[in-house]
Amino acid sequence: MPFIKEPLSISPREFELAVKGILDASGASIPSYESSHLEPVIGFGGEYIIDVVARFRALGADFVVLIECKHHKRKVERQDVQVLHSKVSSTGAHKGMLFSVSGFQSGAIEYADAHGIALIQLAAGSSSWFTKSAGPETPPPPFANIPEYVGWWHHDTHMSLVSERFGEYTLKALGLASNEP
């Protein structure tokens, strides 16, 4: 599993737009894909301002995904995931995704796994470069063309890389592809 040393130093708005960018790049191959930033969404509990809302058409149906971005210095807690799950249920959305700059507590991961909420930790693109040597860490070569930001998708008992170049994992997080290897 990759080692993410510290939370990103990024503004909340930059964070939300980086998340939107990763999803937009991965969603480019999905028919009728579109996303919006800070969209008001109506639910049974009232109006919610959602950080990113993704809409697309698949299997002859229209889907809505609510994406929340948690810019906390602490790991995301179970209650944060519960609130997103409640918003998904209240609005009739089909999927929820929660991005964090600081990772997730174990209770949040357990709740998300049980309720189909995707958890992704946004990290510097350099976190996608790591080695298994016993020596000191080596930086990526300048020709590696590493993206500025990537996401590490927390699911089951492992993590997968989500980025503009690893669209298959983003599609799985959106619920559009099998989680089977």
Q: Is 155 exposed, middle or buried (0-12, 13-18, 19+ CB in 10 A)?
A: middle
- pLDDT tens per residue across span 87-107: 999 999 999 999 998 889 999
The pLDDT tens digits for 132-166 are 445 565 555 555 555 556 665 565 554 555 555 44
Vertex 36: Cα angle to 126 and 108 (nearest 5): 60
Task: Report the C-alpha gap between 148 and 12 in whole angstroms.
Answer: 16
CATH value of 14-129+144-173 in 3.40.1350.10, 3.30.43.10, 3.40.50.720, 1.10.3720.10: 3.40.1350.10
Tell me the domain boundaries of the chain.
Answer: 14-129+144-173
Q: What is the mean pLDDT of the chain?
A: 78
Amino acid letter, 141: P
- Does the predicted model carry a pTM greater than 0.85? no
Q: Other C-beta atoms within 10 Å of 40: how many?
A: 10
Report H helices in the chain. 12-27, 78-91, 106-115, 167-173
